[in-house]
Amino acid sequence: MTRRVVVTGLGLVSPIGHNLADVTAALQNSRHGIVTMPQWESVGNLRTRLAAPIKNDPWDYPRKVTRSMGRVSVLSLYATDQALADSGLPTELLTSGSVGLAYGSTHGSSAELESFTRTLFANDGLRGIPGTSYLKFMGHTCVANLAQHYGIRGRVQPTVAACASASMAIGYGFDAIRAGWQDVVLCGGAEEMHFVHAGVFDIMFATSTKWNEEPDLSPRPFDKQRDGLVVGEGAGTLILEEYEHARKRGARIHAEVVGYGTNCDGTHVTAPSAEGMAGVIRLALQSAGMAPEAIDYVNAHGTGTDAGDRAETAAALATLGDKVPFSSTKGHTGHTLGGCGAIEAIFGIATMAHNFVPQTRNLLELDPLCAPLNYIKHEPREQKVNVVMTNNFAFGGINTSLILKRV
């Protein structure tokens, strides 16, 4: 079976806003969420001080709702509550078995894992550790907590794949609906802010450190002076639904998911592969039955790392040519890791709704070793956007590419 898959609900919490209207305005007006983190000065040997945290947490859940949740799960819950409200999906449908769930994060709550291990090793034993601790930092904490909260009885798929977690969840939902396994799938990803996320990349010399006291100037994807990524936090949820199912209940349709590709480089656990990235873009185009010329805008992974940006731009040139508008929104949000695939898919839908393409913040002088593409620099560009491609690449050589289309 091959069925059409549409997006009927959107929800997010991000460094630049907690609803579609606010993040759209931020992208249109070049507002960002990058700040200096003075509290990280106490972390020995951590060189970066830049991050993009959530400002003013918008939720107020009672403890009975969140007692098995760390911050990363609460982020996913808020985004999913928003998406369900936006979709108008009947509450009773969630427990019918026709609704599935696919959700991911890099791992569970880092803050809860830190608390667990500090108590464990301070006491040299388990005294003082709550029974809910593991539920908060287990790898599939988001999807498990969401499934129990909403009473999901359909297929539940954790997607724990670092920076590809959320896009892989959307891809799973797309495949499940097209194949007839589910009528609706709640899809997305989340990441909480914690110094360990910055530390993982800092150890690899992949974080931005040059602008620790000037957060307006970093990250700088594709720019000659870029010096690494900036970690961010947030969550995004998309409600995917079979087209006729959505029409019958009179749902508003934000966009259609028309293509998805995923593959693996199979070469190196951290070094990016232009060949692997190009391969996944071709798979997405093949899935959508589209020629490269059909793409109106590419939301790039574009983290601001040296090797990653060069490989990605080479892959884009080889598969899409040098005409398609190309930008990274991580200059606005930082790298939200397990959440970026869903957050950036929502950004792509915003570009179709408002006919603009966001610029890559801080891209002033292109790295001559990045491929010559149609980069959006300096300010957003007004243009008609009917088809968006959004790409994400993760450690382990795991690559994803999604194509969304205006309906």
Average pLDDT of the residues in 341-350:
98
Average pLDDT of the residues in 16-21:
97
Q: How far apart are CA 27 and CA 46, in angstroms?
A: 30
pLDDT value of position 118: 96
Average pLDDT of the residues in 202-228:
98
**Secondary structure letter of residue 113 according to DSSP:** H
CB of 116 within 8 A of CB of 228? no
pLDDT value of position 54: 97
Average pLDDT of the residues in 253-281:
97
Residue type, 274: A
Q: How far apart are CA 304 and CA 207, in angstroms?
A: 9
**What would the pLDDT profile of 79-107 be if each residue is shown by its tens digit?**
999 999 999 999 999 999 999 999 999 99
pLDDT value of position 353: 98
Read off φ and ψ for residue 332, nearest 5 degrees.
-90, -40
Q: How far apart are CA 53 and CA 215, in angstroms?
A: 12
Average pLDDT of the residues in 315-319:
98
Pairing label, strands 234-242, 5-13: antiparallel
Which active-site residues does the annotation give?
A: 163, 301, 335
Q: 1 falls in which pLDDT band (50, 70, 90)?
A: low
pLDDT value of position 2: 80
Residue type, 380: P
**SS in 3 state form for 215-236?**
HHHCCCCCECCCCCECEECEEE
